[in-house]
Structure 1
Amino acid sequence: MSPTGSPGAKAAKPTKPAQPWVVCRNAPPTPFEHPQWVPDSVVGGAKLGVSGVIADVGPGVAPPPEVYDVSYVIADLDSGEILAAKSPHAWLRPASTLKTLTALTLMPRLDPRTVVVASDDAQQAAGSRVGILAGNRYTVGNLVDAMLMFSANDAVYALADAAGGYDKTVALMNDTARDIGAHDTVVVDPSGLDEGNQRSSAYDLALIARDAMRLPAFRAAVVKRDAVFPGGKDKQGKEWKAFHVYNINELLRHYPGAIGIKPGRTDRAQHTFIGAATRGGRTLVVAQMGSVTGSWRPTAALLDWGFANADKVTPVGMLVAPGEAGPATPQPSLTSLTDGSADTPSEPATATGTPAPAPLTASGSAPAGADRTSLVAVSGAGALLTAAAAGLVIRHRRRRRQTSEGPS
C-alpha cells in the first residue's frame, strides 16, 4: 500500500526549497598602508589624495559606472586630464602591467636589432613564458614582442640581461619611475611577479602608460595581434620551429578603436589592466588595479563613459609631465610632535631594518596600534632601499619559485 492508500500509486517527492544563486568571487586585494599626505602635495592634484570614486560630473551627467576594481583612473592620453578616478593613489601590486615600465625603461636603451643569447636562468623563469631556449639567439625586438604581447617573463629576464643584468634593470626602472613622477611605484622584479614590497598605483600606471605610448616602437608592439617568434635547438638537440605569438589583450578584439596596452594577473594582485582606445579624435587611457573579474567589459564601460562625458565633466586632476612633481609630503604624525617617548608599539622590521608597510583594514584605516612614524618611513627613499635589498635576495629564487602568475 502506498502512502496515499491507493494500490500502485507513487509517493510524491518532497519539494526542495529554492536555492539562492551564489556567485563566488575572489576577495579583492587590500592596499598597502601609506601615510596621509598634505593635500596640496598629492601628485596630480589635491582631489586625488582621497579614497573612493572621484568625479566632478555636474547636473545631468551620470557618474562613472560601478566596477569591481579597487582603484582606477580614466584620463585623456594626450592632455593628461583625469576625467574620473577611484582611490587613484592606493598602493597595490601591479602584476604584469609593470612590464609597461620595463618597456619604457629598456626600449630607449636597447637597439631592437641587438642579438641576445638566452641564459638558463631566463629559460627557467617562473610564471608566463614564451618558451625561449637557453643558448639560443633572439633579437631585442623578438623579446619585446613576447614581453608586451604574451607577457612572457622569460623574455623580460633576457632583456634585463641585455641591459646589464637584473639588479641594474631594477635600479633603472626605479629611476625612471621617479623621473616621470610615478612616486607610488617601487620595483623589485621587472616581470611584475609578487616579490617583496613591489607596488604601484592606478595613477602611476596611467602615467607610465602615457609616457610609454610616446615611444613609436612600444605603441606598435602593444597593438599587434600576432608576431612570429624564432625557434631554436634545446639541450637535447631537438629542433623547434618558429611559431606565432598572440596578443592576450582581449580589449583589442572586443572594443572598437582599442590600441593597447597591457593586462596582468597574480594571486596577490588579482587582475590589473591598462587599456587605451581612440574615438572621434580623442584617445583615453584607463588604468585598473585589484579587479576580481579579469573581464574586458568593465574597461569598456569606463571607456564608454569617458568618451561620452569628456567634454561635460570637470577634470579632477592631471597626469604630470616628467620632472614636474616630487613625492607627496606626509602629514605630520602625532608621534612626530612628541619627545619620542610615545609608548605606541612599532611595526616589525624587515631584514634591512625598515618597517614593512602594513595592509589597510577593510575600512581603510590603519591597524590598531600602528606606528604612524613607521608608516611614513616606508615612503620615498626608504621604500626604495627596502626594494633594493629585497631584490638581492629575490633574484636568486625568483625564476624557479612556483607562482600563480597567469598568462597575463
Structure 2
Amino acid sequence: MKKRLISLFIVSFFIISGNFTNAEGLSLSGNNYILMDANSGRVIIEKNSNEKMAMASTTKIMTALIALEEGNLKDKITIDDRSIDIEGSSIYLKKNEVLSLKDLLYGLMLRSGNDSSIAIANHIGKDVDDFVNKMNSKAKSIGALNTNFENPHGLSEKNHYSTAYDLALITKEALKNEHFKQIFKSKIYNANREKNGYFVNKNKTLWEYEGGNGGKTGYTTSSGRCLVSTAQRNGMNLIAVSLGASDWFNDNYKLMDYGFENFKPYIIYDNNQLIKKIDIEDGNKTIYALANNEFVYPLSDEERKDIKIKLEIDKNIKTPIEKGQKIGVIETYLEGVLIKKENVISKDIVKKDNIIQKILEEIK
C-alpha cells in the first residue's frame, strides 16, 4: 500500500554512490542476477549484474520491442527461404506461409521461435544485419551500455552478450509499450495456422508465481539457463533477471519474494503537488512551485527516515512567468545518495507589471 512522506528536509549535498545489496542469504544457484523495480528503476538486489554474459533467448525482449516500435501488428508477412529451418526452438514456419506480425511476435515470445525472429528482422529491417543495428542503437539509447547484439534470437555468437542489469533495463523500457505488456503476460495464443498455431508460453512464472505477469526464458549450452521474470503485487512491479542459473525459476522467485516482503512503494511527492510558496521581488509577486511529475520509490520501513529532499529555486526569477515554466529543481536523497532529480514548475501565469502598476505598488 502506498504511503505518503509529508515532510520536506533541506539537506546539504552528498557524494553519490550505490545503495543496494546482494542476496547471499537466499542461497541462489546463479552468480549473476538482479532485482529491479520496474517503475523507478531502483536496483534492490544484485550480484555481478554488470558482467558481460551470453543471454540466449532473453535477446528476444529487444527483438519484440523494436518490432512493436517500428512495425504494425496487422502487417502481413510472407515467409521466404531466409526464415526456414533455423537452428534451435521454432514455430516451424513454411515457405510462402503468410502470418501477421502479431502472430510472429506471439510465436517469438511464447514459443521462443528463432525462425520467427528472423522473419521479423527481415520484415522490419532491410535485412537481419540492419535490424541488429537497430537493436544495438536502442540498447545504447536507454543506457544498456554493456550489451551487444549479433542476431535477433540469441543463438551463441562470440560478440553477442548482455548483463543482468542491461536486461532488466531493456525489460523496463519494453514494459512501457502496452502491446508488449499484453504479449509478455499471455499464457496461450492461437495463430489460426493449419499446423503449429497453438502457442503455450514457456515462462512458468505466469502459472507458478503469485502476481507473475511476464518473462522470457533462454538456454544455450554456452549461456546456461537465463530467465527474466516480472511480477506485480500491491502496486509494485518487479523485474528479476538470472543468468547462468541452474535453478533459474526458483532463483527469480526468491529474488522477487525478497523484494515484495521487504519493500513497499512510497509516494515521495505527487504530480503537481505544492512544494513551496515563493515570494519574488519583481512586482512583489507570489508564485507556487509544483512538482512536475509523481515520484514513487520502493523503500524498506527502515529507509523511510533516511529520505531527504533538497529544493533549489532558480535565482533572480523575473516576470513574466508562464504556467508550467521550470523555476527550479527538487533533489531526493536516500542515505545521502541522490536517487532522483526533478524539475519544479510554476502553478500559474504571472504577468509582468506595467509602469502604472509598479507606481501603484510603490504608493502602497
Common fold by TM > 0.5 = yes
Q: Letter of the aligned partner of 1:206 in structure 2? A: A
- 1:262 matched to 2:216? The reply is yes
- 1:307 matched to 2:290? The reply is no
Counterpart position of 2:21: 55
Q: Quick one: distance in 2 between partners of 1:47 and 1:79?
A: 15
Q: Quick one: distance in 2 between partners of 1:320 and 1:170?
A: 33
For the 8 Å contact 1:100–1:208, the answer to whether it is kept is yes
Q: Letter of the aligned partner of 1:175 in structure 2? A: S
1:139-154 matches, within 5 Å, as: 139-154=100-115
What TM-score, normalized by structure 2, do the two folds share? 0.67
For the 8 Å contact 1:255–1:300, the answer to whether it is kept is yes
Q: Which has the higher contact order (CA 8 A, sep 6+)?
A: 1
Q: Quick one: distance in 1 between partners of 2:340 and 2:91?
A: 35
Measured against aligned partners, the alpha-carbon deviations of 1:246-271 in whole angstroms (never above 9, x if no partner) come to 00101111001101121111110001
Superposition deviation, residue 318 in structure 1: 10
Q: Quick one: distance in 1 between partners of 2:202 and 2:73?
A: 22
- 1:91 matched to 2:57? The reply is no
Counterpart position of 1:127: 88
Number of aligned pairs?
A: 258
Superposition deviation, residue 241 in structure 1: 4.0
Please state whether the residue corresponding to 1:107 is helix, strand or coil: helix
Q: Quick one: distance in 2 between partners of 1:150 and 1:113?
A: 20
Counterpart position of 1:200: 162
Superposition deviation, residue 64 in structure 1: 5.1
Superposition deviation, residue 46 in structure 1: 5.1
For the 8 Å contact 2:85–2:92, the answer to whether it is kept is no
Match of 2:117 among 156, 167, 170: 156
Q: How much is the aligned-residue C-alpha RMSD, in angstroms?
A: 2.4
For the 8 Å contact 2:245–2:251, the answer to whether it is kept is no
What TM-score, normalized by structure 1, do the two folds share? 0.60
Please state whether the residue corresponding to 1:126 is helix, strand or coil: coil
Counterpart position of 2:287: none
Counterpart position of 2:250: 297
Give the gaps of 5 or more residues in structure 1.
1-44, 49-53, 57-61, 232-239, 322-408
Q: Quick one: distance in 2 between partners of 1:100 and 1:46?
A: 30
The alignment-based identity, stated in percent, is 26
Please state whether the residue corresponding to 2:35 is helix, strand or coil: strand
Match of 1:82 among 43, 52, 60: 43
Q: Quick one: distance in 2 between partners of 1:247 and 1:229?
A: 13
For the 8 Å contact 1:80–1:319, the answer to whether it is kept is no
Q: Quick one: distance in 2 between partners of 1:279 and 1:151?
A: 27
- 1:70 matched to 2:31? The reply is yes
Q: Quick one: distance in 1 between partners of 2:181 and 2:89?
A: 22
Q: Letter of the aligned partner of 1:181 in structure 2? A: G
Please state whether the residue corresponding to 1:98 is helix, strand or coil: helix
Q: Quick one: distance in 1 between partners of 2:96 and 2:148?
A: 32
Higher strand share: 2
Q: Letter of the aligned partner of 2:21 in structure 1? A: A
Superposition deviation, residue 214 in structure 1: 0.6
Measured against aligned partners, the alpha-carbon deviations of 1:76-107 in whole angstroms (never above 9, x if no partner) come to 11111111101110100010001001112221
Superposition deviation, residue 298 in structure 1: 1.6
